[in-house]
Amino acid sequence: MGGGNAPERLSDLPAVHRLALLAARRAIDERRTSLLSGSGAGTDLTERAAELISELERSSLRRAINATGVILHTNLGRAPLPKAARDAVARAAEGYSNLELGLATGARGSRQQHVAALLCELTGAEAALVVNNGAAAVLLAVAATGGPVVVSRGQLVEIGGGFRIPEVIAAGGAQMVEVGTTNRTRRSDYTQALTETAAILRVHRSNFATVGFVQDVEIEELCGLGAPVIDDVGSGLLADGIAAASDEPSIRRSLAAGAALVCCSADKLLGGPQAGLLMGTSDRVATAARHPLARAVRIDKLSLAALEATLMLYRDPELARREIPVLAMLEVPEQVLQQRAERLRAGIGGRAEIVRTTSRPGGGALPLLELDGPAVALAADRAANELAADLRAGDPPVIARIHEGRVLLDPRTIADDELQLVIAAARR
């Protein structure tokens, strides 16, 4: 090779010696730990160092293929984004953007301007505010109340990561007033606890259900008590007519009932990026926006771009149901699932068979819903957990489900353009 710029090109190469040194140190540390624990010498040091170099060169956060059948898989990032949202993120990440600039005036604006009017259009809210996740939306709503918060004992739930509603209320600086019992809370329980400064918090039990001798107060009745109501509807259902989600609380219903603030996640049944939505009356949203905590939990520009693009799809309800993956997975026809399963079985070969199984929405949504459909079971000479580990070790990793000692590949959460990748991983 010729050319006078060879030294410049060489200077662009990664510092391999640094990676090699770091890998060698880690390999030696692993060997030392193995010997001290009495588990033996383990892998050859040179081979292990080479493996570690490959790992160090590869991004830790990578695309994965969800073959579990769990639509909103928290460990896999919950809702996969629609193409319009992915494209919007790429555009926003390409360079600078008008995140907080009014293009017409040239003056500083608010990042909320990109989605607030759209949320009001879609939900009927007077005003809207977006933060970085659903828990932050509830925290900010509670913090902005300025008085006691009345909540049913049956709604003192624990959300993902071990965080609990009483802890969220305490972190928001509000006094919590418990009413009712675990299984039954009546209108009179609320009226006896309300004061001039109190607000009511209603929390959707999004990851479990109570059945039997139970009683709750509906949102319309709560809003008729005169106190401001903060309604945490959880998973953010915005689409109409989804049969599988018919029992999920509706954002529009709560707002129409007169809730002061409605909070939800954007990365669950709404099908967008991780974000938290607050919608409600103009004065309550403005109060929340002025609270110092609003700055700490504000949404970033990439999530904002993805959220705007996702919400724009909802202007055409049929388009939303086709283009937003979460909604499409909830309604995918049996025939389509069967065709995907047949392609997987045929591509993998004779050690695969189609079985019937059930999957779940996951992600703290629709806890009682079971989605029946086909899956492909893999037969192997090794234990199921070893086979599942091999699938995870691929590039991209394929995340399967183990059921009754067998590895299952569920086509509900495998996109058509991912089928060949799953086939190749299974054949390996």
Lookup: tokens for 78: 């919950």
Domain residues for the domain of 154 are 83-316
Tens of pLDDT, residue by residue, the chain (428 residues): 444 454 454 345 455 577 778 888 888 888 888 777 777 666 777 888 877 877 777 788 999 999 999 999 999 999 999 999 999 999 999 999 999 999 999 999 999 999 999 999 999 999 999 999 999 999 999 999 989 999 999 999 987 777 899 999 999 999 999 999 999 999 999 999 999 999 999 999 877 788 889 899 999 999 999 999 999 998 888 998 888 888 889 999 999 999 999 999 999 999 999 999 999 999 999 999 999 999 999 999 999 999 999 999 999 999 999 999 999 999 999 999 999 999 999 999 878 999 999 988 887 778 778 899 999 999 877 789 999 999 999 999 999 999 989 999 999 999 999 999 999 999 88
Residue 48 lies in a domain: no
CB 191 within 8 A of CB 164: no
155 secondary structure, DSSP code = G
Measured distance CA(48)–CA(191) in Å, rounded: 67
Q: Give the Cβ contact number of residue 202 at 10 Å.
A: 24
Looking at the DSSP bridge assignments, the partners of residue 178 are 151
Q: Are residues 105 and 209 in the same domain?
A: yes
Chosen domain end from 281, 316, 351 = 316
Strands (E), 141-299: 149-152, 176-179, 199-203, 229-234, 261-265, 276-280
| φ, ψ of residue 417 in degrees (nearest 5) | -80, 0
Measured distance CA(68)–CA(375) in Å, rounded: 9
Q: Are residues 235 and 342 in the same domain?
A: no
Which amino acid is residue 40, in one-letter code? G
| φ, ψ of residue 57 in degrees (nearest 5) | -80, -15
Q: Which residue has the tokens 């604006």?
A: 109
Q: Are residues 144 and 292 in the same domain?
A: yes
Q: Which of 97, 123, 128, 134 is nearest to 113 (CA)?
A: 128
CB 272 within 8 A of CB 80: no
Q: Are residues 295 and 348 in the same domain?
A: no
Q: Are residues 385 and 237 in the same domain?
A: no
Instruction: State the Cα angle at 64 between 393 and 59, rounded to 5°.
Output: 75
Measured distance CA(420)–CA(397) in Å, rounded: 13
416 secondary structure, DSSP code = G
How many residues can be counted in the chain? 428
Chosen domain end from 316, 341, 356 = 316
Q: Are residues 288 and 367 in the same domain?
A: no
Question: What is the pTM for the complete model shown?
Answer: 0.88
Chosen domain end from 271, 295, 316 = 316
Please tell me whether residue 215 adopts helix, strand or coil conformation: strand
